[in-house]
Amino acid sequence: MFYYTYVLKSLKDNDHYIGWTDDLDVRINKHNDGLVKATASRRPFELVYFEACLNKEKAIAREKYFKTGFGRRFLKTRI
């Protein structure tokens, strides 16, 4: 089983949302269907980056890293 750290781009405001999940397709659909309270007003979204991890702790740690200044710079070079 994989755990995913992902970055979505809002097509409404061009801002990014960073999260983690164990089912990437289902989670993206929840964001786009307005079922995630944090992003409901910013949809639709497109997936612009993701990484697969072998355990949940690493995926969560990667999400936290992406939310730091260094992590945002890292993503900027890849998105």
* pLDDT of res. 39: 96
* pLDDT of res. 8: 98
| CA 13 – CA 29 distance, rounded (Å) | 18
Helix axes 56-66, 69-76, angle to 10 degrees: 90
The structure's pTM equals: 0.93
Please give the DSSP secondary-structure letter assigned to residue 54.
S
* pLDDT of res. 29: 98
Q: Which CATH superfamily is domain 3-76 in?
A: GIY-YIG endonuclease (3.40.1440.10)
* pLDDT of res. 20: 98
pLDDT averaged over 10-residue windows placed end to end, the chain, 79 residues: 97 97 98 96 97 98 97 94
Closest by CA position to 20, among listed 3, 37, 8, 35: 3
